[in-house]
Amino acid sequence: MKYLLRYREILLVVIIAVLLAAFSTRSPGFARPANLSNIFNDTSILIILALGQMAVILTKSIDLSVAANVAFTGMAVAMLNAAYPGLPLIVILAAALGIGAVLGALNGILVWKLNIPSIVVTLGTLTIYRGMAFVLSGGGWVNAHQMTEPFLQTPRQIFLGLPLLGWTAILIVAAMYLVMSRTLLGRAIYASGGNPAAAVYAGIDVGRTRFLAFTISGTLAGLCGYLWVSRYAVAYVDIAAGFELDSVAACVIGGISTLGGIGSVAGAVLGSLFLGVIKNALPVINISPFSQMAISGAVIIAAVVFNARQERRRGRIILRDRGASEQIEGVT
């Protein structure tokens, strides 16, 4: 048990397995491969958003504008597709990634150059981006009949038993794992949140690293803007409402510390899957929407308490020892 408590990822795998077994007693088909594939597909957008949020939280920041980014980018690419139906899908994807990256970079610049707390910046841009989506669309909707078949159907194409939407999430997970564990940027992200002073001593530009983390988050949110609109075949101002909190919740449940420097890609993915299982299972067992919200809130609070207890121990904070040793050498 101590081993499970120490490694959040293993504990989450066990909890998810127990939940699947428990819900299967009420709904026998719940744990069937086809349904599990549907749950993963339903959770794919949240997984991608949570990975972007993870990069920001690891730098001891937060991005509350991700869902608004999804809304604006989704509306923009839907209107682009409706206005220019002959435009290749690759161009629309590039536009989605570019718009998302610009919105994320704007957050990063405000945090980096003006030294404004990230929660203040992204709370403001959350409203701004939603307002931009309203101004762009005039409050109207873009419906399925206005979009082209390639735009709508590409993420739904089945490959090896899983829609391309799910495979996109898998590719993003693999890419983020490589970035966070095998690149200088990944190490800088952990260091900037874990011990900013030591990171500076090691030659890391903490402000620039946070800027890049916000840009990553924005880029992934832009991708989710297209994926959301194509999956649900509609674009409107309030799409993805509340998903900024879901992305934070997935990270917290996955063991990513809001104090920065501690967490993993696997944790963010498993936290998202945990929420996905809960949200898919509660309606099946006739739990009311209000009770679902209460249960989700209780789970988040429990995860925060658990994280606080775990952070008393030695966490994964890169360069802490190096920074401490350099400070000792400076004193002597």
Find the range with the poorest average confidence among 51-55, 83-87, 291-295.
291-295
What whole-number distance in Å separates Cα of residue 53 and Cα of residue 62? 7
Res 298: pLDDT: 79
Higher-confidence residue of 27 and 250: namely: 250
Please list the alpha-helical segments (H only) found in 60-155.
66-83, 89-113, 118-137, 149-153
| pLDDT recorded at residue 328 | 42
pLDDT tens per residue, range 133-180: 999 999 899 999 999 999 999 999 999 889 999 999 999 999 999 999
> Any idea where the domains of the chain sit in the sequence?
37-256+265-331
Digit-coded pLDDT (tens) for 285-319: 777 767 767 777 777 777 777 766 666 554 444 44
**CATH (one of 3.30.420, 1.20.1070, 1.10.3470, 1.20.1630) for 37-256+265-331:** 1.10.3470
Q: What is the pLDDT of residues 87-117, one digit of tens each?
A: 999 999 999 999 999 999 999 999 999 999 9
32 φ, ψ (degrees, to nearest 5): -70, 150
Q: Which residues are CB-contacts of 38 (< 8 A; sequence separation ≥ 6)?
A: 280
pTM, 2 dp: 0.90
Name the β-bridge partners of 143.
234
pLDDT of residue 311: 61
Query: Is the model more confident about 285 or about 68?
Result: 68
